[in-house]
Chains A and B, each alone.
Chain A
């Protein structure tokens, strides 16, 4: 069975640009969450989507947005990139109704802003 897949795996962008990261959840999982992990820190919650609706949002600026599609895949968009947005972006999926219980993570997208 395929796990959570994220694309691309690595990305280099210039300050001020916009970026879109993609995530496909495990088959049957309807909840997708996004996390940002900077070096030396634990993952920090950005968004959670369930049944195409935003169900939770972390303490991130409005430059960060996301959406979930009918097939439960998701995109994370970041506008007006800053150097501080350089991080590993993780997507996690979980079974509907169990929230964060046993959330399964993808391998992440390493974003570097120069």
Chain B
């Protein structure tokens, strides 16, 4: 029973265009969401996060949008670059100030950016 779902296993985009990665969740108790990027043979690298009290958070080329009513979030990358090619994981949690909280990850979406 997956609480965090990334329904697109892969996405191909041309360099310079927008990449949109989607994530859905089922647990209404989640109130903190994160995106991680992972290259082969490396650990996940933190990209951007958003609290449930916001609906948008932006950091350079990366923007995360949260739609709480739809239990949906998306990561926009503009413009996409070949170096963005990696596996992207959506993760969710609740009670971000509690030390014993776990991250719940989706299965990931493999992004391929072609030049």
Tell me the A residues contacting B by CB distance below 8 Å.
Answer: 4, 6, 31, 33, 35, 40-45, 48, 50-51, 55-56, 58, 90, 92, 96-108
A102-B34 contact in complex given A41-B107, A43-B44, C-beta closer than 8 Å: yes
Find out whether the CB atom of A100 lies under 8 angstroms from the CB atom of B107. no
Query: Which of B11-19, B62-70, B92-100 sits within the interface?
Result: B92-100
Find out whether the CB atom of B99 lies under 8 angstroms from the CB atom of A103. no
Interface of B is mostly: loop
B19-41 contact mask (Cβ, 8 Å, vs A): 1 or 0: 00000000000001010100001
Find out whether the CB atom of B99 lies under 8 angstroms from the CB atom of A101. no
Interface of A is mostly: loop
Can you identify 30 A-B contacts, CB atoms within 8 angstroms? A4-B43, A6-B43, A33-B102, A42-B105, A43-B44, A43-B89, A43-B103, A43-B105, A45-B103, A48-B99, A48-B101, A48-B102, A50-B100, A55-B98, A90-B43, A92-B43, A97-B97, A100-B32, A100-B34, A100-B93, A101-B32, A101-B49, A101-B96, A102-B34, A103-B34, A103-B46, A105-B46, A107-B43, A108-B42, A108-B43
Tell me the B residues contacting A by CB distance below 8 Å.
Answer: 4, 6, 32, 34, 36, 41-46, 49, 89, 91, 93, 95-108
Q: Kindly state the separation between the CA atoms of A35 and B105 in the bound complex, as whole angstroms.
A: 10
Q: Which of A42, A55, A92 contacts B108 (CB 8 A)?
A: A42
